[in-house]
Amino acid sequence: MSETKRSPLAAAVAYGPAIAVFGLFIGVWYAVHHVVLNEQRKFIVPPPHRVLDRAFLDGKARSELLEGLVNTGRIALIGFVIATLAALFGSVVMALSRVFERALFPYAVALQTIPVLALVPLFSVWFGPTRTARVVTCVLVALFPILTSFLFGLKSVDRGHLDLFRLNKAGIRTRLVKLQLPAALPSIFTGLRIGAGLCVIGALVADFFFTRGDLGLGRLLNNYAKRLEYEKLFGGVILASFLGVAIYLLIGWLGNRLLRDWHESEARAS
């Protein structure tokens, strides 16, 4: 009974700070529009109620934004899955063999240091303004953080546990499946959270450059900026952020379900 009575207070403690920050953000937004900007520049930061009215309550604008959200979300999800599978394969190979790690990891670092914007025109030539070029952009943006997190987790296994498996003559496959992969799950989900947001960024960047094919949020944002439709521009930015947050929360929820019964980080959070 006492836990039931305390539940509203617990909810207020859990969600109150986030709600307060959101209210502060809306207040600052209104202050920038009404106080900071002069009359000639107010249009570049429209107030929240006008964004809501012209971007989400207007049927035509809403359907256009939702279409862009679906297309961008599809590209980000496909890129995220491919980057995850490639990172898992590469990290396992490098964790099991130092030779492969020395041979492959420098190229992964080099790939990360190349500006993606410099490669996008090449992707346009190689693949055309197709879904493939957008997916490749997402994979390149997200691959390295996921790969390094996976590799760190696989190589951070407790030395005593690893010696115990070796003492019992466990094979490489047994050590990988029953020891290294379970122990690496916290790092794996950390990498997945980072990679999920980066895939959304990669999909938006690709949309900015590929002006044909599926109409994504990035192209819509570019069009709105050119037409000075800042209410719709802010609406697209809000939807893009919601997409990244939704994927992040989904990965976090999956991680909590897998880790909460045995790992301290998720046990405390739950």
pTM: 0.82
Q: For the chain, give percent helix, strand, coil, nearest 5.
A: 85, 0, 15
pLDDT, position 232:
92
- Give the helix ranges, DSSP H, for 210-229: 217-226
**Residue from 59, 63, 58, 36 nearest 47 by CA:** 36
Per-residue pLDDT of the chain (270 residues; tens, 9 = 90+): 344 445 677 766 777 888 889 899 999 999 988 888 888 888 888 999 999 999 898 888 899 999 999 999 999 999 999 999 999 999 888 888 889 888 888 888 888 888 777 787 788 778 876 788 888 888 888 888 899 998 888 888 777 777 777 777 777 788 777 888 888 888 888 889 988 888 888 888 888 877 676 788 888 988 898 888 999 999 999 998 888 888 888 888 888 888 776 665 555 555
pLDDT, position 267:
53
Gap between the terminal Cα atoms of the chain:
20
Q: For residue 46, which phi and psi values (nearest 5 degrees)?
A: -65, 150
- Domains detected in the chain: 1-45 (no CATH), 47-269 (1.10.3720.10)
